[in-house]
Structure 1
């Protein structure tokens, strides 16, 4: 995923060293199904989300990220939880080391159709918890989806 101007300015100063960033995650739910996206940078399945920009409210960041990635709006119902730690750390192909602390929000789509608006998302898929096991996915989403079904 492309880095924001803010993150690029930090990278200019610290290089690829570890950077901890705030994020948001959309748990888009329709009955017992959840919407996943296949990310272009890793090819793995995950939830929709991204970084919170300086001065941006997390809810506004979530609405922006969903609009950027799917071209639709969502209605935010509630916070599912906050997540971080080793499961949300990675090293990008360019060597940048990053960790995220993300707030996950339960959402519903306001439109039944959406389009992939940017190059971050290769595909979308609705899955149930039972169908998660067959997907190459980021492991941390299992915890988020389990929390969303409680």
Structure 2
């Protein structure tokens, strides 16, 4: 994933220190109940679709933009699934980021799934019972998106 210009500007002053950033994940279902996934260039692994919100961008608009940019699929956001602070990540260049992830359940409304940018090696639809290997956090987001329950929040330690 290319570093957005606004992050380059912040890094010019902040250096490599921890940045707290808004992240959005889109769990996109088609009419057959399949989930849209992309195989990432940076890790070679399959993952849910997501990205970083730009300054002033609403989370739903970010999800719709990221899904289209990465996969060519058009979608609409149906609901908030999960809100969670992720563990900090240290990138190979030494930059440290921590994302506040907002996961949104989305429904595909058009387009054709394809590699649509330089972030993915492959893009495809997967049945829930035929998912490729995914990390634990992706599986949590998918599980929560299949339930009708309330938005999932990690409560953390009590005072």
Q: TM-score, normalised by structure 1?
A: 0.86
Contact 2:71 2:123 in 1 (8 A): no
Equivalent residue, structure 1, for 2:144: 147
Q: Identify the residue that residue 38 of structure 1 maps to in structure 2.
A: 39
Which structure carries more helix by proportion?
1
Q: Determine helix, strand or coil for the equivalent of 2:117.
A: coil
Question: SS of the residue aligned with 2:61?
Answer: helix
- Secondary structure in structure 1 of the residue aligned to 2:73: coil
- Equivalences for residues 1-150 of structure 1 within 5 A: 1-30=1-30, 31-86=32-87, 89-111=88-110, 113-132=112-131, 134-135=132-133, 137-150=134-147
Q: Greater Rg, structure 1 or structure 2?
A: 2
Structure 1 residues 65 and 56, CA, compared in 2 at 3 Å: closer, same or farther?
same
Q: Give a deviation string over 1:76-128, Cα, whole Å, max 9, x none.
A: 11111212232xx3222222221111111111212252332210111123334
| Equivalent-residue separation in structure 1 for 2:38 and 2:51 (angstroms) | 13
In 1, the alpha carbon distance for the partners of 2:11 and 2:136 equals: 27
Unaligned runs of at least 5 residues, structure 2: 148-159
- TM-score w.r.t. structure 2 length? 0.82
Change (3 A) 1:22 1:96: same
Over the aligned positions, Cα root-mean-square deviation in angstroms equals: 1.8
